[in-house]
């Protein structure tokens, strides 16, 4: 058998609810094949912090890094929970994993599946992928506060953009575009962020010369939000920095029928570290514990995981099962596990 060592981090809120369904689907898709998932579950997140005070220990990190891939639900408590004030789960856990495991590509595909009721009256065909840089930008934590709490307080958060870091993600994005519809859109804010925007623009121009078949265009991020709503069909590959990519992909999720469908991969293309797959959404404290979260985003994240590991046929079977399930949705409310069961059943049929 081919053994895949999978680290599973269910996390907080709806994380464990959607991850159970994703695990169900993973088991169903490899049933009868020679692939076997050897899963280790890591209890990490706000609940663990509240119980033990730990966010992500060095031992956790090295144990996770010893796996072939990671499946994560969502981490983070109720925004504003005073007990989590010093925890910083997002930075100390999620971003720490992305940074330490060098997930420099945050791949976030967006498709409007047939039959999905979206908010747009006439969306056309939506099928694009956001290649969001995952290890730099304003996320690095290069900032500080002086004279804190006084009227003279100064708070800085520096956006870090290295030639090395920008070039490797831009190169990945061009390779994606080359394999897809050969259109690449750089999104930034070069009219204001002249230094950070400038390096992105110059590197896209330079790398673009190696991909003469790929048509390149550029949009300021504010205008990009307009086109994502008015003309989303124009996009094929969007490459952008960590923060703009975060914002654009929630919007992309919303225009393609809801954040409950949006999957992502935090990828280390070099294969030095395991890549991590997770829904774009968070722990959704407002609906946690009710069994009503949509597990589709987590399930589609397993398709990205399978594809990354080279199980391309299994990946497309999962995607197809999800497509069929979506097309058969009548609008009647189903529970989280009913959706997972239905998709797993299609894989076994
Ligand atoms: P959120 O994505 O958790 O929720 C936003 C809205 O979308 C909520 O109304 C929620 O009910 C809804 N929603 C999200 N996922 C859904 C699903 N699968 N099915 C149906 N509805 C769904 O964003 P938030 O409220 O800003 O954040 C909550 C917590 O999650 C915070 O602590 C935040 O930091 C964290 N977070 C974690 C991740 C992650 O682990 N990758 C991502 C985003 C936010
Ligand atoms: C996401 C989330 C994270 C991000 C947060 C929770 C750190 O919003 O995965 O999109 O900003 O990247
Ligand atoms: Mn986000």
Q: Is the pLDDT of residue 330 over 90?
A: no
What order do you get walking across the sheet with 2-11 strand by strand?
35-41, 2-11, 69-74, 275-279, 263-267, 105-111, 127-133, 237-240, 183-188, 215-220
Report how far ligand 2's centroid is from the alpha carbon of 345 (Å): 32
Binning pLDDT at 50, 70 and 90, where does residue 118 land? confident
Contact partners, residue 128, CB within 8 Å, separation at least 6? 109, 110, 232, 235, 236, 237, 238, 252
Domain ranges of the chain: 1-103+266-290+297-349, 119-255
Chain segment 80-115, per-residue pLDDT in tens: 899 998 888 999 999 999 999 999 999 999 999 988
CA-proximal residue: ligand 1, atom 30 (nearest): 282
Name the pairing type of β-strands 275-279 and 69-74.
parallel
Report how far ligand 2's centroid is from the alpha carbon of 247 (Å): 9
ipTM above 0.95, yes or no: yes
Contact partners, residue 87, CB within 8 Å, separation at least 6? 46, 49, 55, 77
Report how far ligand 1's centroid is from the alpha carbon of 284 (Å): 4
Q: Is the pLDDT of residue 331 over 80?
A: no
Q: Is the pLDDT of residue 53 over 80?
A: yes
Pocket test for ligand 1, best of 98, 132, 251, 284 (most atoms within 8 A of CB): 284
Contact present, 114 and 256 (Cβ < 8 Å): no
CATH code of domain 1-103+266-290+297-349: 3.40.718.10
Chain segment 1-28, per-residue pLDDT in tens: 899 999 999 999 999 999 999 999 999 9
Report how far ligand 1's centroid is from the alpha carbon of 89 (Å): 14
Nearest ligand to residue 87 Cα: 1
Binning pLDDT at 50, 70 and 90, where does residue 31 land? very high
For residue 94, which atom of ligand 1 is closest to its CA?
Answer: 40
Fold match flag (1-103+266-290+297-349 vs 119-255): yes
Q: What is the pLDDT of residue 220?
A: 98
CA-proximal residue: ligand 2, atom 4 (nearest): 246
Average pLDDT of the chain is 96
For residue 94, which atom of ligand 2 is closest to its CA?
Answer: 7
Contact partners, residue 217, CB within 8 Å, separation at least 6? 183, 184, 185, 186
Q: Is the CB of 9 under 6 A from ligand 1?
A: no
- Show the tokens assigned to 65: 């890094």
Chain segment 175-197, per-residue pLDDT in tens: 999 999 999 999 999 999 999 99
222 is catalytic: yes
Compute the average pLDDT of residues 231-235: 96
The number of beta carbons lying within 10 Å of the beta carbon of residue 96 is: 18
Yes or no: is domain 119-255 CATH 3.40.190.10? no
Binning pLDDT at 50, 70 and 90, where does residue 310 land? very high
Q: What SS3 class is residue 37?
A: strand
| Percent of the chain whose pLDDT exceeds 90 | 91
Query: Which residues are part of a known binding site for NAD(+)?
Result: 282-294
Binning pLDDT at 50, 70 and 90, where does residue 332 land? confident
CA-proximal residue: ligand 1, atom 16 (nearest): 260
Q: Which of 47, 49, 102, 189 is catalytic?
A: 189
Element (H, E) at 166: helix 163-179
Q: Is the pLDDT of residue 79 over 90?
A: no
Ion ligand 3 — residues with CB under 5 Å? 246
Q: What is the pLDDT of residue 329?
A: 84
């Amino acid at each position: 058998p081919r053994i895949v060592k999978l680290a599973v981090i269910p996390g907080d809120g709806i994380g464990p609810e959607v991850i159970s369904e994703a695990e169900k689907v993973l088991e169903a898709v490899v049933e009868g094949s020679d692939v076997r998932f050897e899963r280790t579950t890591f209890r990490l997140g706000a609940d663990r912090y509240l119980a033990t005070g730990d966010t992500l220990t060095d031992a956790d990190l090295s144990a996770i890094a010893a796996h072939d891939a990671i499946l994560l639900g969502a981490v983070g408590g109720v925004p504003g929970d005073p007990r989590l004030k010093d925890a910083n789960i997002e930075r100390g856990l999620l971003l720490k994993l992305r940074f330490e495991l060098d997930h420099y590509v945050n791949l976030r595909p967006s498709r409007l599946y047939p039959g999905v009721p979206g908010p747009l009256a006439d969306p056309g065909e939506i099928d694009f992928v956001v290649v969001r840089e995952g290890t730099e930008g304003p996320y690095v934590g290069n900032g500080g506060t002086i004279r804190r709490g006084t009227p003279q307080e100064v708070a800085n958060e520096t956006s870090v953009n290295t030639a090395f870091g920008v070039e490797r993600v831009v190169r990945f994005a061009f390779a994606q575009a080359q394999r897809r519809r050969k259109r690449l859109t750089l999104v930034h804010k070069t009219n204001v962020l002249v230094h950070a925007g400038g390096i992105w623009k110059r590197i896209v121009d330079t790398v673009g010369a190696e991909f003469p078949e790929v048509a390149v265009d550029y949009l300021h991020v504010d205008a990009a939000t307009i086109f994502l709503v008015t003309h989303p069909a124009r996009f094929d590959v969007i490459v952008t920095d960590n923060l703009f990519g975060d914002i654009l992909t929630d919007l992309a999720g919303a225009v393609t029928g809801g954040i409950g469908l949006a999957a992502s991969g935090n990828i280390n293309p070099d294969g030095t570290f395991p890549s991590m797959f997770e829904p774009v959404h968070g722990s959704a404290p407002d609906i946690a514990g009710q069994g009503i979260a949509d597990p589709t985003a987590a399930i589609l994240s397993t398709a990205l995981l399978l594809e990354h590991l080279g199980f391309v046929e299994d990946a497309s079977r999962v995607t197809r099962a999800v497509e069929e399930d979506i097309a058969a949705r009548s609008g009647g409310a189903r529970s989280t596990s009913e959706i997972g069961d239905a998709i797993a059943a299609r894989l076994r049929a």
